[in-house]
A and B are shown apart, each in its own frame.
Chain A
């Protein structure tokens, strides 16, 4: 393993998070509660797909084996995907989507912020671009969480349940593995420990404003970063990769 291949693997992971979340958001096109929200959802999904393309292209360049963005997206099996489990969870109702985005975006924003200051130029350049997008996403999703939490009794109960349900997928965001350590030490990359503290503080603030309760500490699911996914993920990939797998080698 060289340093380049480590950064490539790290960039792939970031690309996986962005693509899988983008794919989940795309599934909801034409099913949103209001027309204006359709436009917002599509904007955010486009941002995520754009980020995935940048991260994959960087990974391909660093790796030097000639893989392009589509090789990463469409020609890897489940176990080679290293996204967090939270992004691959199936869509539920609108409140589930909002809660997922608040939890994930709050983490992603802090991660990108640290990456803008890291000493790897490829990573910091993409992070500087993505952070503007995610900043806006979080503004949108956190305002919505407040509306739903502090809306009707029904909406309050629904999003409280969403929050309780998705909480178990937040643990693995903060558990560093060898790759996280490598990026932190070699390139002054993100320190997941300090990100966790800030994340908790910020999420707690939004949750309080939404008149919701922070979920109690509990058992946390993990495995995404090691390529051990939940059952739902295989279906997502089968659907996404269908054409490339049915007609190998064709160009589109």
Chain B
């Protein structure tokens, strides 16, 4: 029992209509404590209307070493972006 409390990542929705965003982390012995700790740490200035907490060791993340393999292939698919298409200015509502 000498170890520190587990680390949790905290995500806050600042107002209805927006997504939750990573705010930081807290330590807590259990999920309920993580939630209240997140509330008391990250919403002191009414920054939130909803909180998610998740144990840091449960997050599955992509590996920066594989950045090229993961995200490179999307870079040359410029036809996915609207600016790729040449439409005369006089055509409206497109």
**Closest CB in chain A relative to B42 CB, distance in Å:** 9
A152 to B1, CA, bound (A): 10
For chain B, give the interface size range: 10 to 19
Q: B36 and A147: CB pair below 8 A? A: no
B1-58 interface with A by 8 A CB criterion: 1, 5, 26-30, 32-33, 36-37, 39-41, 44
Q: Which residue of B1, B5, B33, B37 contacts A39 across the interface (Cβ within 8 Å)?
A: B37
Q: A140 and B5: CB pair below 8 A? A: no
Q: Which residue of A136, A147, A152 contacts B29 across the interface (Cβ within 8 Å)?
A: A147
Q: Which residue of A34, A35, A40 contacts B36 across the interface (Cβ within 8 Å)?
A: A40
The residues of B that contact A140 with a CB separation of less than 8 Å are: 36
- Residues A34 and B5 in contact in the complex (CB < 8 Å), given A143-B33, A143-B36, A147-B29: yes
Q: Does A125 contact B (CB under 8 A)?
A: no
Q: A43 and B32: CB pair below 8 A? A: no
Q: B27 and A39: CB pair below 8 A? A: no
The residues of B that contact A34 with a CB separation of less than 8 Å are: 5, 27
Chain B residue with the shortest CB-CB distance to A151: B29
Q: Does A217 contact B (CB under 8 A)?
A: no
Q: Does A139 contact B (CB under 8 A)?
A: yes
Q: A40 and B5: CB pair below 8 A? A: no
Q: Does A36 contact B (CB under 8 A)?
A: yes
Q: A43 and B27: CB pair below 8 A? A: no
- Residues A43 and B33 in contact in the complex (CB < 8 Å), given A34-B5, A36-B26: no
**Closest CB in chain B relative to A114 CB, distance in Å:** 26
User: Which 4 A-B pairs have CB atoms at the shortest separation, nearest pair first?
Assistant: A36-B37, A40-B40, A39-B40, A39-B41
Chain B residues close to A by CB (< 8 Å): 1, 5, 26-30, 32-33, 36-37, 39-41, 44
Between-chain CB contacts (< 8 Å), 23 pairs: A34-B5, A35-B27, A36-B26, A36-B28, A36-B33, A36-B37, A36-B40, A36-B41, A39-B37, A39-B40, A39-B44, A40-B36, A40-B37, A43-B40, A43-B44, A136-B39, A139-B36, A140-B36, A143-B32, A143-B33, A143-B36, A147-B29, A147-B33
